[in-house]
Chains A and B, each alone.
Chain A
Amino acid sequence: MTADLIGLIAGTLLTLLVLSYILGDNPLYRLALHMLVGATVGYGVAVTTVTVLQTVLPALQSDSPDRVRALIPLVLGILLLFKGFPRWSAWGNFSTALLVGVGAAVAMGGALVGTIIPQTAAVGSLNVWLREGSAGLINGLIVMIGTIGALLAFAFAVPRQPALRRLWNGSVGVLGQMGRLFLLAALGAAFGTALTASLTVLVGRVYAVVTGIQQLLTLIGMSSG
């Protein structure tokens, strides 16, 4: 019995245990769930240890300048461990601040350069409209109206003055209603794609179970393959 076969059988059993949830919460499902969580945590710890410590510790033993460069994250990491002790958690504040600050700065810069500016430029780009013709123009208008409408869909305040209120309802209110329609369409599409992905996984699992059963039958000689 090879490791692949053992893995196939184990995967098939675990899949059946998880699919037993269709009959409600039961111990078999709970067993599979606990095994999944435990395996995930254990694997994460192992990967982190191998990836991080095996990278830092050899550098500390060397005489190269990397020794000092590796010492800094090691000290910061040790200080971060104090977060587990409420009395000494303040020692980990600097490490936490460094992580959060650097992470936020990097993410913000990336979002600005990689998403906001390019997407805004793409929607309003004349080149896109010229390249795609009237379809591109219509597409850009739809995107613009949908974006503004979706934003105005969350504007719940109205002016007190009757004249301004009528004007508000005639402009912002209409755009807001259109935005709600865009939101409905977007949420429906997102649900459809998520359902498609989930069904794809289900199909893959069903095929895996069928394949596993065929392998087991082959193994015990009940199937000709």
Chain B
Amino acid sequence: MIYCPKCGTANRQGSKFCNECGAPLPATGLRCPMCGAMNPAGNLYCDRCSARLIPAERVPPEEEKPERPSPPKGISLPSVPLGEEEWLSELRAEALDLAPEEETPGWPGELEAPSEPPTPEVTIPEWLAELEVPAASPTPEAQPPEAAIPEWLVELEAPVAPPTPEAPPPESAIPEWLVGLEAPAAPPAPEAPPPESAIPEWLVGLEAPAAPPAPEAQPPEAAIPEWLVGLEETVPEAPPPAEKPTPPLAGIPVPPSGEIPEWLRDVEFAPPIQEEPSAQPPPVAEVDVHAGMPSASTTVPPILVVGEEEILSTAPAEIPDWLKEAPAEAPPEYGGLVPAEIPEWLRPLQPREGVAVEEEPTETEGFLSGLRGLLPIGKGLDMPATAQPLLPRAPRPAAVARAELLQGLLSRPLITPPTAEIREAPRQSGWVLTRFLVGVILLAAILLPMLVRLPLFGPPTAPTAEALFATVNHLPGNTPVLIAWEYGPAESDEMDRVAGPLIEHLLRREARLIVVSTRMEGPAAAEALLASRLVDPSERSERIANLGYLPGQAAGVREALGNLGGRTEAMTGLPASQLDIMADVHSIADVGMVVILAAQPDDLKTWLEQISVANPNVPVVAGVSARIELISTPYLAAGQLRGMVAGLTGGAVYERQLDTGWGREYEYYLTSLGMAQLAIAALTVIGALIFLVGGRKR
């Protein structure tokens, strides 16, 4: 349920607007970061995709620096109405205070796992590897990645390494003797220079002075060490600069004192492999970098080795004397490699040992299960986006009442279908006896006039029947009269007493009767009555044409009214056009009068309406059942019907006017009908009294 903040009405979960007042409802619930489905507040997992809705929170240790919450990518936080969450802004301000801008986020360090040394193959700049060759120590394994400066390296960057003799000074700390070497000559490209982007900035300064001077370049006087001055005259003319890149050795700084530094001694004692004749250096490694140096007796090319991998072999060259004079110290061998010591200035670059690495929290649930180092959720963000201040006031009594009413309705037991009771009721003997008594009473009321033969009721009156009698009485002889016979055997007990006197009157007036019907049983019912009223059956073909059934309801009537001559006589099967009675009758316009004998209201209306459309001037009279007497009266009042005989009463009136000899039967019928009506009225009153007195209790 979501309670409306405006009126307090309880609304269905997930509603956006209040059902009572239409006010927008606060969005409660959690939106799944994976499928976007809304979930009820309190869900840990999505109902649709079972993704975790609230990331697991890791409580950082106290000594850990507070981290600035970085914007999580790919995670949709619970939707919160904007502008309403003060706590969120407070948390954000607090987090900003705790985490200074300059501080590097801690999460990269966590991801790097500093306890594990990086792989050396791809991270060591080549020129730096050369420096480490003599050492043959595991130091290269601790080299940071090429593209990223590790944290322990960053820390070393700001405080410049102490100016040890071996340490490559930064650019600002380049000794003067190196500065002189750097300026004059454009250094040839090294064989495999590290990409510019891969060189740490503080090492760039070291790389530049390492370039050897071009052979033609003359260093300034002040920059030439003394031990090189003597060699200057004896140096032959330098060959043209090699097209191939300069070997990395050219970058090694030379101490100004003329002494061989330790790192140069290491280079000198690198284990050569000249004993193996097949170990010819690859041509790509041939660099004539020592061309200007004194020739040496040995022609063994120096081979730089890192570990067991040969990474560089220079072209055969003579070892200069100053290299030969270098003190030969027998380094201890270690597996064929020369152990070396990490220079002091490189030692800070090593990964710190003994630093306890905190175990990364591992996700154990959801689609991220098994992953480590997930971002912990910031404080406050793990809370669902339910707007606590908006949550409920007390619901209104009206809403509570409606809810209770609904709950009561829903908790009611289902109403059993009353079919069983209905079926059981007739089986009760009292009900059967009641029905039998009613039937007996009605039969007695109907049969009593036949036995007693007493005129219990006076002569009936029916002004409409009298008007109809007058209309027919003024009808000229041999007038074609269209009769719509719209009743069947089911209604013939009543309608025959209505239509009989009227048909006989028409026959007496020597009218030509053209019978049609929109009911399938109509023509047969008409034929039975006509046969009973026709005095001379041989005159039938001259007086009566039964055109039969008109299919199509209103459309059929409309069609027949316009094409009476195109139909077929139902009894003889002859076309109407071949009948003498239909010789001058082709449509409704040729008819002198229309008689509608209807037991159902729709039949009367259909004929009246279609006649009004086809030929409104033709006089229309009707003989109808008592059932539709009320419906027929307005047409009579409006003049659309010139006269009407309704029910047994109207037939009796017409019969009395016509005096056909059927009056006695009508008298019996009327007496029986009156008695039956009285019986029905009496039974109704008795039943009402029984209900009021005793049956009401049930």
Contacts and interface: CB of A to CB of B under 8 A. Distances in A.
Contact of A119 (B554, B634, B673, B677): B634
Contact of B447 (A43, A115, A199, A210): A210
Contact of A207 (B568, B570, B606, B668): B668
A136 to B, nearest CB: 9
B610 A114 contact: yes
B638 A122 contact: yes
B609 A189 contact: no
Interface string B597-638: 001000001101111110010000000011111100011011
B434 to A, nearest CB: 10
B608 A114 contact: yes
B627 A197 contact: yes
B612 A204 contact: no
Contacts of A110: 554, 558, 606, 609-610, 612-613
A139 to B, nearest CB: 8
A25 B637 CA distance: 44
A203 B612 contact: no
Contact of B494 (A25, A111, A115, A201): A201
Interface stretch (A44-52, A79-87, A160-168, A170-178): A44-52
Given A47-B520, A102-B555, A197-B627, A204 B493 contact: yes
Interface string B438-450: 1100110011001
Contact of A206 (B447, B567, B612): B447
B426 A24 contact: yes
Interface string A132-160: 00000000000000000000000000000
A118 B626 contact: no
Contact of B450 (A22, A200, A210): A210
Given A119-B638, A121-B638, A202-B442, A197 B647 contact: yes
A62 B447 CA distance: 59
A196 B435 contact: no
Interface string B457-493: 0000000000000000000000000000000001111
B306 interface: no
Interface stretch (B267-275, B405-413, B545-553): B545-553
Nearest to B517: A47
B209 to A, nearest CB: 94
Contact of A122 (B432, B493, B628, B639): B639
Nearest to B631: A190
Contacts of B612: 110, 113-114, 118
Interface string A10-30: 000000000100111100000
Interface size bracket, B side:
35 or more
Interface in B132-173: none
A103 B554 contact: yes
Contacts of A55: 567-568
A52 B493 contact: no
B590 interface: no
A52 B568 CA distance: 10
Nearest to A11: B489
A216 interface: no
B568 A196 contact: no
Interface string A75-103: 00000000000000000000000010011
Given A23-B436, A110-B606, A113-B612, A43 B568 contact: no
Interface in B566-610: 567-568, 570, 573, 599, 605-606, 608-610
A208 interface: yes
B608 A115 contact: yes
A60 to B, nearest CB: 15
B627 A194 contact: yes
Nearest to A115: B609
Contacts of A103: 552-555
B520 A200 contact: no
Given A118-B638, A205-B493, A200 B553 contact: no
A2 interface: no
B634 A203 contact: no
Interface in B330-352: none
A195 interface: yes
Contact of B630 (A47, A113, A189, A195): A189
Given A199-B677, A203-B446, A54 B573 contact: yes
A200 B648 contact: yes
A31 interface: no
B493 A203 contact: yes
Contacts of A113: 609, 612-613, 616
Contacts of A38: none
A22 to B, nearest CB: 4
Contacts of A114: 605, 608-613, 640
A91 to B, nearest CB: 21
Interface in B649-698: 668-669, 672-673, 676-677, 680
Contact of B673 (A52, A118, A203): A203
B555 A203 contact: no
A73 to B, nearest CB: 10
B57 interface: no
B521 interface: yes
Contacts of A196: 626-627, 647-648, 673, 677
A107 interface: yes
Interface of A: 19, 22-25, 40, 43-44, 47-48, 50-52, 54-55, 99, 102-103, 106-107, 109-111, 113-115, 118-119, 121-122, 128, 186, 189-190, 193-197, 199-208, 210
Q: Closest 5 A-B residue pairs measured CB to CB?
A: A204-B493, A114-B609, A110-B609, A114-B612, A122-B638
16 contacts: A47-B549, A54-B568, A103-B553, A103-B555, A106-B610, A107-B554, A110-B613, A113-B616, A115-B605, A118-B635, A118-B640, A122-B637, A193-B627, A193-B628, A196-B627, A207-B450
Given A118-B638, A207-B672, 7 more contacts: A55-B567, A102-B555, A111-B605, A128-B637, A200-B673, A201-B493, A201-B494
